[in-house]
Amino acid sequence: MSNITAINKNQVAFTPIVLTIAGSDSGGGAGIQADIKAMSATGSYACSVITAITAQNTLGVSAIFPIPLEHVEKQLDAVFTDLNIVAVKVGMLADDDIIKIVAAKIKQYQPAFLVVDPVMVATSGDLLIQESAISTLKAELLPLADIITPNLPEGAALIGSEIPSSEADMINMITGLRQLGAKAVLLKGGHLEQDENSNDLLIFPAGVHHLTAKRINTRNTHGTGCTLSSAIASYLAQGNDLLRAVQLGKQYISQAIAHADELEIGKGHGPVNHFFSGHANVC
């Protein structure tokens, strides 16, 4: 007889499952690949729905192929009807139709948490979304989100303002960002490179939290936005409230950036180091 003791299913620990809906980065540093790494490193189980395939490396994006809409829908139905998905992170959605189908499926399956990273421009400066799709994103998806995580150019594009050049400019964006309809907005100040610290604003309907981290001098920042939003979704799935999940996500991405130069990947903007330790949970 086998000495292996059968495990009662009721005794199995809860597995936090997080879905990433995003584009594939063939270079492995951003998109679906970064999302899965971040979710895994922070202690969750990652599943995925691929919305586009990019021909991409650390130097830039040379081609984007949107996945046929029918197959995006089939991927969504496949994972939602089988897996107990607690949190969803949405990244690159290249056109209006994909945004609409993702929003419809979020409404249909109603996951507990939705994190939207409004990916519009790659680290290299390449445009990743059709300009007409921005209005669809604002109308269909952002109002469903528990939190959206724009950087400064993305935040400016969403509310039709100039890109901030100071923290005072960031503060002036608060009202416009609240009007997008998400429950919270994390406005990331990493583009203010003249500042000693990287300062973010976590904007709630009735208050604002200032989050600060030491700025790290490295060119290896490819996939930072994907990684941070995925970590936040992961920590939400594990039962943290929104403020705590953002704080933990900020700590995680700071460490991943701090260890980025330990990797030698590509000739351009290299990726962050998702697995900077054997077990990357942040306490």
The pLDDT tens digits for 256-280 are 998 988 889 999 898 888 989 754 4
5 pLDDT more than 80: no
- Using left for φ > 0, alpha for ψ between -120 and 50, and beta otherwise, residue 31 falls in left
Which range is least confidently modeled, 39-43, 85-89, 211-215, 243-247? 211-215
> How far is Cα of residue 218 from the mean position of the Cα atoms in its chain?
21
User: 133: pLDDT confidence band, cut at 50, 70 and 90?
Assistant: confident
Secondary structure class of 263 (helix, strand, coil)? coil
Phi, psi of 147 (to 5 degrees): -155, 140
Overall average pLDDT of the 192-196 stretch: 66
Do the beta carbons of residue 250 and residue 232 sit within 8 Å? Answer: no
pLDDT at 125: 57
Do the beta carbons of residue 206 and residue 181 sit within 8 Å? Answer: no
Do the beta carbons of residue 92 and residue 23 sit within 8 Å? Answer: yes
- Using left for φ > 0, alpha for ψ between -120 and 50, and beta otherwise, residue 186 falls in beta
Instruction: Report d(CA 189, CA 211) in Å as an integer.
Output: 10
Rg (CA), the chain: 18
124 pLDDT more than 70: no
Do the beta carbons of residue 51 and residue 66 sit within 8 Å? Answer: yes
pLDDT at 278: 53
Neighbours of 94 (CB within 10 A): 21
Q: Are strands 113-116 and 147-148 parallel, antiparallel or unpaired?
A: parallel
Secondary structure class of 108 (helix, strand, coil)? helix
User: 218: pLDDT confidence band, cut at 50, 70 and 90?
Assistant: confident
**Residues counted in the chain:** 283
pTM: 0.91
Q: In what order do the strands lie in the sheet with 45-57?
A: 60-66, 45-57, 17-25, 85-90, 113-116, 147-148, 185-187, 197-204, 207-214
Q: Are strands 17-25 and 85-90 parallel, antiparallel or unpaired?
A: parallel
Which range is least confidently modeled, 33-47, 94-108, 212-226? 212-226
pLDDT at 68: 96
The superfamily in CATH containing domain 15-151+219-262 is Ribokinase (3.40.1190.20)
What residues are labeled active site?
188, 221, 223-226
Overall average pLDDT of the 161-178 stretch: 92
First-residue to last-residue Cα distance in the chain: 42
Return the closest-CA partner of residue 232 out of 49, 44, 22, 23: 44
pLDDT at 7: 45
Instruction: Report d(CA 198, CA 190) in Å as an integer.
Output: 5
Overall average pLDDT of the 206-228 stretch: 89
In sequence order, what E strands does 205-283 have? 207-214
pLDDT at 19: 98
